[in-house]
Amino acid sequence: MQMDMFLDQFLNQAVLVKYTPLILKGAGVTVLLSVLIVLTGLTLGAGLACLRAYRIKAFSFAIVIFADVLRALPPLVLILLAFFGLPNIGVVLSSFTVLFLVLSLVLAAFAEEIVWAGITATPKGQWEAARSTGLTFTQALCYVVLPQAVRMVIPPLTNRAIAITKMTALGMVIGVPDILGQATTAQSFSANASPLTLAAIAYVVIFLPLVIASRWLEQRFTQKGS
Amino acid sequence: MASTYNEKGTPSSATLSVRALHKSFGVLPVLKGIDLHVQRSEMVFVLGPSGSGKSTMLRCCNLLEEPDSGAILIEGDKLTGPGVDLNKMRQRIGMVFQSFNLYPHLSALGNVTLALRRVLKMPREQAESEAIAALTKVGLSNRAGHFPSQLSGGQQQRVAIARALALKPTVMLFDEPTSALDPELVGDVLDVMRDVKEQGMTMLVVSHEMKFARDAADRVVFMDGGVIVEQGPPEQIFGAPTQERTRTFLSRFHG
Amino acid sequence: MEAIIQQFFNIEIMIKALPLVLKGLGVTLLICAVVIPLGALGGLFAAIASVSKNRAVRWTAIGFVDLFRAIPPLVLLIFIYAGLPFAGIQISPFVAVAVGFFLNNSAYFAEVFRAGILSVPKGQTEAARSTGMTQGQTLFWVTLPQAVRNVLPDLLSNVVEVVKLTSLASVVSLGEMLHAAGLVRSLTYNASPLVLAAGLYLVLLWPLIRLISRFERKIDT
Ligand SMILES: Nc1ncnc2c1ncn2[C@@H]1O[C@H](COP(=O)(O)OP(=O)(O)OP(=O)(O)O)[C@@H](O)[C@H]1O
Ligand SMILES: [Mg+2]
């Protein structure tokens, strides 16, 4: 009896069939957003970490403030601020753009801190060897230090990138038609929880392989390191 | 040493000149006026107790440390001053470190080609053939594809020598190149250094390999407390040192 | 410039919003007080299970952790809050938040504790066992203290993440800080209440973030 009711509410075949295309469309949006956020966030974060390596006081200060603030604020606060606040001063952005911008910046903040940790952990002798062969500071940074730093921090970087791309689900709050956005709409139309089940499955299908891959990466890198 | 001085005020024949070099770390004076001239194809050995400033002097020679005052000249060209391209100058000064400092993310070949390609802007094929030539000189052409983690300490140091050698420097600096090595690997590195010398390289070497110094060095410099205490041919420094401090230092090595 | 101050830093509106937002802050802290200890405890158990010698136990634990690391917390929260009533189970927003975040946090804390446990050299366990300590005693008195110390910065940064996570509770209308601020925003059509909430999050979390950075620097030097 209970079981029947459960199946009817959470795995209702008619509802599942009807809304699968919608959820797939949402999955497309989620994946597209995730890829854009990861590319932008990691590039910007690594770039800022490199800029910080030049140890120009004003830049370093600004970078640290940026990274601290974006790591301290809940992304949802930033999303609401941007989505509801900016139009009041004449800046109207689509919900998709707001989500993309906010999460890219948040990922950039974390990536900056992580890559910077990698740069400072690279032995001083590497800089000296590079400079002693005539490489400029920038060349030493790009060809010698950064490749090592990035390699060192791939596991935390991957974990953070996954955690932040999962936050694309927050887009539902401002009406981004991603997986969760489509699922909640479908749920209220169908008066049935099955679309939520579909959404959960979709997220697991997309993110579980990534989580497992990150676990594998972590194992590989820590074994090699120690 | 008697030498004629050119218009720049340096011994005209010196390949590397260190003049009135001073350097402090905070309030601690480490170099208190070093004057040293290394002639073409000469191998000069620097000895001295720990903390006497040997590494600091060497690192000042390619500006890894900024001198407080004094001058460094390569073939009469000043290393510091307005309008000097430091990176150009550094190509003329090879450096070999105690801890190798090979780039762990690059193969032996990659370690050697990096500066050839990025500093000298050689095309890939040319850089690689130059690198192979340098690796051959240190006896490691068959290890070109190996990464530093796959090489022994002695092999790593020889790759580091090849890395410096490939840039065809005017002078090479060695800071205790063998002291991080297991005893049985020291010989290979010293053999390579001897070959490099025989090919006419000008070398300034900080090392405590006394036997090697006796065999191969043209001149031995004894440093203590940030100054050069005495210098001369190895037979004289090891056989009949004139300064008490030198004798005390050497007696610890003879036991 | 005038417009920015008017729309984002309007003191008048902030003062009006303050009582409600502070009340929300109380709820935020209450959620943290419930979810952080529960999540840490759940995570600790999952971590211990995930290094068990028993294959079934180990893989169950790792499966649990990976599953809840793959599902976005908001999806979990909405599934519990909006889904369970369909199954005839009525729960309050607070319970939904507590359960959802407990599952999510346990997974994240488990990963941190697991890394900590694995970072303790095997010789430590062997030494302890050789003095006659049981497996449980060894874990409690030798392995865990070292494990926790090794991953202290990660544990702290997890705590920061949990505090930030509580903002999601606003989506299920639990009156925590962001919900309160959002409410005032929708009444005033002015973003200042959100800025006020952001400021309070900063006051709460910035010291923690600085502390973590300090820890991390100490470790790699
Ligand atoms: N970067 C630095 N900052 C502060 N003090 C330094 C620095 N580098 C060297 N020193 C100090 O300068 C002095 C000379 O150091 P240096 O490394 O030149 O000695 P050394 O002759 O090479 O000794 P060793 O045989 O131990 O290598 C030492 O007292 C050392 O502590
Ligand atoms: Mg030294």
Residues A95-147: pLDDT tens digits?
999 999 999 999 999 999 999 999 999 999 999 999 999 999 999 999 999 99
The string of pLDDT tens digits covering residues B151-190 is: 999 999 999 999 999 999 999 999 999 999 999 999 999 9
> Which domains does chain A carry?
2-225 (1.10.3720.10)
Residues 45-74 of A with CB under 8 A from C: 68-69, 71-74
**What is the number of residues in chain C?**
221
Q: For ligand 1, say whether the CB of B207 is within 6 Å of any of its atoms.
A: no
CA distance A30 to A180: 9
pLDDT of residue C221: 40
What is the nearest CA distance from B63 to chain A, expressed in angstroms?
9
- Taking a C-beta distance cutoff of 8 angstroms, is the pair C197, A72 a contact? no
Contacts of A170 in chain C (CB under 8 A): 74, 168
Give the nearest partner residue to A72 out of C69, C74, C206, using CB atoms: C206
Query: Where are the domains positioned within chain C?
Result: 2-220
| pLDDT above 50 (res B5) | no
CA distance C214 to C221: 11
> Which domains does chain B carry?
41-55+86-251 (3.40.50.300)
Residue B46 CA to ligand 2 center (angstroms) comes to 11
Contact A133 B114 (CB under 8 A): yes
- Taking a C-beta distance cutoff of 8 angstroms, is the pair C27, C175 a contact? yes
| pLDDT above 80 (res B46) | yes
For tokens 């001198």, what's the residue? Answer: B67
CA distance A113 to A133: 29
Handedness of CA A189, A193, A196, A197 (dihedral sign): negative
Backbone phi and psi for residue C9, each to the nearest 5 degrees, phi listed first: -125, 45
Contacts of C7 in chain A (CB under 8 A): 85, 88-89
Average pLDDT of chain A? 92
Residue B56 CA to ligand 1 center (angstroms) comes to 6
- Taking a C-beta distance cutoff of 8 angstroms, is the pair A111, A149 a contact? no
Going by DSSP bridges, is the β-strand pair B69-74/B14-25 parallel, antiparallel, or unpaired? antiparallel
The string of pLDDT tens digits covering residues B204-232 is: 999 999 999 999 999 999 999 999 999 99
A110 part of contact set with chain C, CB < 8 Å: no
Nearest ligand 1 atom to alpha carbon B206: 22
pLDDT of residue C130: 77
The string of pLDDT tens digits covering residues B70-113 is: 999 999 888 887 888 888 888 899 999 999 999 999 999 999 99
3-state secondary structure chain C: CHHHHHHHCCHHHHHHHHHHHHHHHHHHHHHHHHHHHHHHHHHHHHHHHHCCCCHHHHHHHHHHHHHHHHCCHHHHHHHHHHHHHHHCCCCCHHHHHHHHHHHHHHHHHHHHHHHHHHHCCHHHHHHHHHCCCCHHHHHHHHHHHHHHHHCHHHHHHHHHHHHHHHHHHHHHCCCCHHHHHHHHHHHHCCCHHHHHHHHHHHHHHHHHHHHHHHHHHHHHC
Backbone phi and psi for residue B227, each to the nearest 5 degrees, phi listed first: -130, 160
Q: Which contiguous run of DSSP H or E holds residue A25?
A: helix A13-53
ipTM for the complex shown: 0.91
Q: Residues with Cβ < 8 Å from C203, sequence gap 6 or more?
A: none
Average pLDDT of chain B? 91
Which tokens in the block code for residue A126? Answer: 């590497």
Give first-to-last CA distance, chain A, whole Å.
56
pLDDT of residue C41: 96
pLDDT of residue A223: 52
Give the nearest partner residue to A133 out of B90, B104, B105, using CB atoms: B90
C89 part of contact set with chain A, CB < 8 Å: no
Residue B197, classed as helix, strand or coil, is helix
pLDDT of residue B58: 94
Backbone phi and psi for residue C116, each to the nearest 5 degrees, phi listed first: -65, -45
CA distance B91 to B170: 8
Contact C216 A117 (CB under 8 A): yes
Mutate to test the pocket of ligand 1, among B28, B30, B95 (most ligand atoms within 8 A of CB): B30
A102 part of contact set with chain C, CB < 8 Å: no
What is the nearest CA distance from B164 to chain A, expressed in angstroms?
7
Average pLDDT over residues A73-79: 96
Task: List the pLDDT tens digit at each of the 221 positions of chain C.
Answer: 788 888 889 999 999 999 999 999 999 999 999 999 999 999 999 999 999 989 999 999 999 999 999 999 999 999 999 888 887 888 889 999 999 999 999 999 999 999 999 999 888 888 888 777 788 888 988 899 999 999 999 999 999 999 999 999 999 888 899 999 999 999 999 999 999 999 999 999 999 999 988 887 665 44
Going by DSSP bridges, is the β-strand pair B171-175/B93-96 parallel, antiparallel, or unpaired? parallel
User: Which protein residue has the closest C-alpha to ligand 1 atom 5?
Assistant: B25
Contact B90 A123 (CB under 8 A): no
CA distance A20 to A33: 20
What number does CATH give the domain C2-220? Answer: 1.10.3720.10
**Residues forming a β-bridge with B203:** B43, B172
Percent of chain B with pLDDT strictly greater than 70 = 95
Q: For ligand 1, say whether the CB of B55 is within 6 Å of any of its atoms.
A: yes
Q: How large is the C-alpha radius of gyration of chain B? A: 18
pLDDT of residue A2: 67
| pLDDT above 80 (res B3) | no
Residue B55 CA to ligand 2 center (angstroms) comes to 4
Contact C75 A84 (CB under 8 A): no
| pLDDT above 50 (res A210) | yes
CA distance C182 to C187: 9
Give the start-end residues of each E strand in chain B: 14-25, 28-39, 43-47, 69-74, 77-78, 93-96, 171-175, 202-206, 219-224, 227-232
Q: For ligand 1, say whether the CB of B66 is within 6 Å of any of its atoms.
A: no
Going by DSSP bridges, is the β-strand pair B202-206/B93-96 parallel, antiparallel, or unpaired? unpaired
The string of pLDDT tens digits covering residues B6-22 is: 444 445 578 999 999 99
For tokens 């200060």, what's the residue? Answer: A61
Residue B77 CA to ligand 1 center (angstroms) comes to 27
Query: B11: which DSSP letter?
Result: B
pLDDT of residue B11: 52
